Structures are given as structure tokens and as C-alpha cells.
Amino acid sequence: MPFAPALHAEWLKIRTVRSLPGALFALFAATTAFSALAGLSDTSDPGFDPLFTALSGVTPGQIAAISFGAMAVAAEYHDGALRLSLAATPRRGRWFAAKVTAIAVPTLCVSLLTALAALLAARAGLGPAASGLTTAEQIRGVVGCGVYLTLMALLAAGLATVLRSGVATLSLLIPFILVVSFVIGDAAGTVVGYLPDRAGQVVLYQHHDKTPGPWTGLAVTALWTAAALLAGAWSLRRRDA
């Protein structure tokens, strides 16, 4: 099967598996709601950053993005669905590319819309505290947020292909981004800054004195994602369906 029909087939799967559109809706709802609540927070804190506050809903929202990527792949390992997919598209690399594209495109579209809605909702609450944000900074935040959430969904997709389980992927990845980053925090030194979530979220700050910087941080997250996808592609080629 050529790539275009394979992509169409994967898109139909995402549309018809009820939990997958639900995960994208949860991504929008959670990110926007938590950002709106953050917009009502105290702005007198010396470490207050209006852009990160406005987009801080990405912290719970990324769980929905990760769930979407993991579940989209894990569904293939239920009831022999993967064998049927590979029967239709015997070239495994082509099928995996179609699957990844079908995950990436809707995630990116929803994430960009979500980031914009979250920013507007939080700015309404922040009022004058957000007046110092420039247009360029807000565009960077919205675009960076959309790309970051998409990368996290693809990271989960690659890992789910290796583990062949959505539950195992979520059990590993969610504690990793929530516990390792926020419990260890700065105690681990600069190494923490190169974890996929910490590096990618630098783009959400108006003022950043961290290493790596905003776009470099997203590149670091992209490297983590690429490694997971390459591992997934290798696993798919080497193991039986």
C-alpha cells in the first residue's frame, strides 16, 4: 500500500477509537483550564514570569498528549490489530511513518490551538501583569508550546512501540517527567536541564537564563523523541507482529 492510503487508514483509526479524540480534548481542556487558574495567581513573586504563568497549564496538559501518543500505538497490539495493519502495509517502515504522521499532525494542530486559548485565558486574569509581553515572545510561547506537546506525544509513541503496551509506557514516562524533574529538580545540577520535559519547556519562559536556551531546548527534546522513534522502528522491524 502506498504512503497516502496508509496514512488515511491510520487517520481513520484515530478518529474511530473513542479514547483518542477524548485524549486530545483533555489536552485542550486541561491546559486551558489550568492556565486560566494560573492567571489568577499572585504576581508579586520575584520569580514571576508572565509567559510561563500563562502557559503553565502545559504541565498537566502534557499528560494528555503523552496518553494520546501511547494509546494510538498501543491499540495496534490489541486483538491482533498490528497483524492486520501490516498485512495491508507489508513495508513496516512505511506503516510506522504513516502512524507517526497520523499522531503528529492532529496533536500539533490541537496543541497550537490549545496554547493560544491558554494564553488568552491566562492573560485575561493576569491583566496589567502581562502587559510587558511582546508579540514575538507570545508567538514563541504559542508555537513552542505546540511543538513541545507534539514532541512529547511522539516520544510516548516511540516508547509504546518498544514496550508494546500503553500502560507500561504511561507507567514509565509520566513518573519520569513528573517525579524526576520536579522532585530531583535543581539538586541534580545542569543534567536535569537536558531531560526532555525540562529542556523543551524553556521556550515557555519570557526570561530564560537557563542552558539550553528556548529553541536549543526544543532541539534537545526532539533528539529524545527521535531516539524513541528510532528505537520503536528498530523494534517493529526485528520483532514478530
The model's pLDDT over 86-101, given as tens digits with 9 standing for 90+, comes to 777 778 888 899 999 9
pLDDT band at 218 (very low <50, low <70, confident <90, very high): very high
C-alpha cell at 179: 517525579
pLDDT band at 188 (very low <50, low <70, confident <90, very high): low
- Which whole number is the average pLDDT over 2-11? 83
Q: Shortest CA distance to 52 belongs to which of 104, 129, 111?
A: 129
User: Between 44 and 110, where is the model more confident?
Assistant: 110
Annotate the chain with DSSP letters as a single string: --HHHHHHHHHHHHHHSTHHHHHHHHHHHHHHHHHHHHTTS----TT--HHHHHTTTHHHHHHHHHHHHHHHHHGGGSTTHHHHHHHH---HHHHHHHHHHHHHHHHHHHHHHHHHHHHHHHHHHHGGGGTT--HHHHHHHHHHHHHHHHHHHHHHHHHHHHHT-HHHHHHHHHHIIIIIIIIIGGGGGGGGGGSHHHHHHGGG-SS---SS-HHHHHHHHHHHHHHHHHHHHHHHHHS--
pLDDT above 80 for 194: yes
pLDDT at 104: 96
C-alpha cell at 74: 498501543
Identify the weakest region by mean pLDDT among 27-41, 174-188, 192-206.
Answer: 174-188
Predicted TM-score (pTM) of the model is: 0.92
pLDDT above 70 for 178: yes
User: What is the rounded average pLDDT for all residues in the chain?
Assistant: 87
Residue 103, CB-side half-sphere exposure with 13 Å CA sphere: 31
Angle at 73 between CA 223 and CA 172, to 5 degrees: 60
Percentage of the chain exceeding pLDDT 90: 49
